[in-house]
Structure 1
């Protein structure tokens, strides 16, 4: 072990579980080097990667795993103290493709990838266009001068309805299910709150799967159940089935909501950038990529594990240690984006150079769908309400209580400025 490794091990940066200032935290970590040790809630230590090149390298390295059961000795195969008492245990306990490694990952990803093909995504375009129009009609009926929570009344219901259409989630089950999923992302929760959330969530998931077994349809949940119940297929066991459906529900809407939230906020606080779009001097794809780079919808995703010792050039990550890619910090790496990496600039030459949807074999299969939703929702919002503006100062906005999910609790706007 190098001297630098040893010194970083004895002085980890403590991660704020409430995510109150993700970018300041990223800067503190980056000041320690491309990878530095941090202390997560519950006293668990992990190496956090803030350098873009190193992050891409590790995300395509077979020596990096997402399977805690295989490659994290501290997890003790899910039978030790961490599984019982660590508030973030659910982030590594899931047996879905997001935490799988090697052949297991390929098997699980293959089962859902066909639902997110370019053709299948394109089929959803008319549905998304109708949802956008209907939601904006509802918002347009707001009394003059009353603020609208554009996250809660537009971004959130749009993403929810799209993912529910894809997964086949009945309307009667949606409110409770997504309320509990939102609690799952709140990384400032106590152990007791996490345990209560987990118990309710898995009860809801069991009810959903039972319902879909009785009334299958042309949807992803039904397809996953069919794969599970086909004795001749290399499908899912029951735990994998529940966790895969949960992954699709959580990841399938949270990223899109945060993308829309931050894109809207950034354009409202940078009117000169919005004018570039309105004048045709930039495209909405430019704005979407810059929003993804500038404010990664998922800031940090627990966790990955070193399958063997990994020499990063400055420090060695020992076999069995945990690591996290800080997508929010990587998106603002000055080595890639320059000294003004913290600025929102849709004409930035490096706007496309981000990994906010992941990189390598674990790249988000739903990225094309999230992009499609944003490409239809954003231009229509600003076309319908050209005088829209924030209803409060930016420093009054509250972040989500999470160092994983990067968004605002609410985003109040006025449809017409006074």
Structure 2
């Protein structure tokens, strides 16, 4: 096995800290690398931009893990199948139908209308952050804001939101741990039952939330069934907060470790949308794409990916490919044309449905932080390294913790102690 492949598969501490040297080696020496992951299914990792861009739009690469070859149970086991029966695991024509229906609630008009409320939520969270001592910005700000937004869109509020997130965390923690299979089953049953009750209640008492729009939106094709609505809530809840939470942290970390770029965006706020795209390219929260597989033998870059093999796309590697982005390891807010070229939100039919909402949340969060705390600094002993997510071969890249001093002039002298 190629040394770089081994490092990626084992997810060594050095790799999790900074995977980009490994990706550079793979792009140069094994751009379509065969992996030997724990699930035992033949898997190929794509690291070059050109190959990644092509595969994301290739109709020969499917996502329905039950179609033809049953890969779902080999990859995920026999639990959570009802929750996973969503547009992430669908191919046309079913994917086209599901996405078309979901898209009706993600129109620019609907997203724009959310701005005042998201701004209110952001400032409310920052009001509660201490300025006389370090605060973990992940727990105090980056995590709760996207959770609050997506739960409110789905009509999940109050104590119900607390319960949903508790069981959601159980699924996240236990999904790939055989020793926690009982916990996973209990959580899946609870979430399925709750979502079913919530859908029934929404039908009986419609409001103006996102879920009501999914339930009631007229469509020329067959409307969503209750089972499809359950899985739709699940995927929107998962995708609607985790990736944005991690990206908020990645953006703040990138700004605070690149003072020249931070100064540029502070002096010219019109640069912020472009800066967000560059930070998405530079340190995206979705490190590898969701699972795909070859519907037939597919030749890419001189390598044949055999029918039935799983395909994973290293989006963060593709976004650092010098063949596409000159000087890719440099954070440069003057880089142009990024929104239509970086792969941080994917590409093709499965391009992230919630990208406009994520961009809005990022803009609001960063604007609020820069306006209120222009002197904030990292509050960790080794700020250049960070406390990155650990675990098996990654789907996500982000920080476990992000201690910052929001107002260093008011923060106690030994603010790195204990971090």
- If the length of structure 1 is used for normalisation, what is the TM-score? 0.86
| Whole-angstrom distance in 2 between the partners of 1:198 and 1:386 | 46
| Whole-angstrom distance in 2 between the partners of 1:240 and 1:35 | 35
| Whole-angstrom distance in 1 between the partners of 2:176 and 2:134 | 29
| Whole-angstrom distance in 2 between the partners of 1:82 and 1:365 | 24
Q: Runs of 5+ in structure 2 lacking a partner? A: 410-419
Alignment check: 8 A CA contact 2:34 2:44 kept: yes
Q: 1:216 to 1:39 in 2, by over 3 A?
A: farther
Q: Runs of 5+ in structure 1 lacking a partner? A: 1-6
What residue is the counterpart of 2:402 in the other structure? 411
Alignment check: 8 A CA contact 1:17 1:188 kept: no
Alignment check: 8 A CA contact 1:12 1:45 kept: no
1:209 to 196, 210, 230: 196
Q: 1:61 to 1:127 in 2, by over 3 A?
A: same
Are 2:36 and 1:39 equivalent residues in the alignment? yes
What residue is the counterpart of 1:23 in the other structure? 20
| Whole-angstrom distance in 1 between the partners of 2:181 and 2:11 | 13
Q: 1:307 to 1:218 in 2, by over 3 A?
A: same
Q: 1:30 to 1:180 in 2, by over 3 A?
A: farther
Q: 1:84 to 1:387 in 2, by over 3 A?
A: closer
Alignment check: 8 A CA contact 2:23 2:47 kept: yes
What residue is the counterpart of 2:387 in the other structure? 398
1:300 to 288, 295, 311: 288
| Whole-angstrom distance in 2 between the partners of 1:82 and 1:374 | 32
Alignment check: 8 A CA contact 2:82 2:231 kept: no
What residue is the counterpart of 1:178 in the other structure? 165
What residue is the counterpart of 2:417 in the other structure? none
Q: 1:203 to 1:334 in 2, by over 3 A?
A: same
Question: Post-superposition shift, 1:274?
Answer: 0.7
Question: Post-superposition shift, 1:359?
Answer: 0.5
Query: What is the 5 A alignment of 1:109-120?
Result: 109-120=99-110
Question: Post-superposition shift, 1:74?
Answer: 5.5
- If the length of structure 2 is used for normalisation, what is the TM-score? 0.86
Are 2:254 and 1:260 equivalent residues in the alignment? no
- Greater Cα shift, 397-406 or 271-280: 397-406
Question: Post-superposition shift, 1:415?
Answer: 1.2
Alignment check: 8 A CA contact 2:377 2:406 kept: yes
Q: 1:320 to 1:43 in 2, by over 3 A?
A: closer
What residue is the counterpart of 1:134 in the other structure? 124
| Whole-angstrom distance in 2 between the partners of 1:84 and 1:277 | 46
| Whole-angstrom distance in 1 between the partners of 2:273 and 2:354 | 17
Q: 1:187 to 1:405 in 2, by over 3 A?
A: farther
Alignment check: 8 A CA contact 1:213 1:225 kept: no
Question: Post-superposition shift, 1:32?
Answer: 3.3
SS at match of 2:293: strand
Query: What is the 5 A alignment of 1:6-155?
Result: 15-16=9-10, 20-21=16-17, 22-71=19-68, 73=69, 75=71, 84=77, 94-139=84-129, 142=130, 144=132, 146-155=133-142
| Whole-angstrom distance in 2 between the partners of 1:124 and 1:349 | 27
Question: Post-superposition shift, 1:130?
Answer: 1.1
Instruction: Tell me how many residue pairs correspond in the alignment.
Output: 397
Alignment check: 8 A CA contact 1:29 1:48 kept: no
SS at match of 2:161: helix
Query: What is the 5 A alignment of 1:335-346?
Result: 335-338=323-326, 340-346=327-333
Alignment check: 8 A CA contact 1:49 1:324 kept: yes
Question: Post-superposition shift, 1:255?
Answer: 1.8
Q: 1:231 to 1:154 in 2, by over 3 A?
A: closer
Alignment check: 8 A CA contact 1:92 1:302 kept: no
List per-residue Cα deviations over 1:336-364 (Å, max 9, x = no partner).
123x3122222234644311111111111
Q: 1:111 to 1:82 in 2, by over 3 A?
A: same
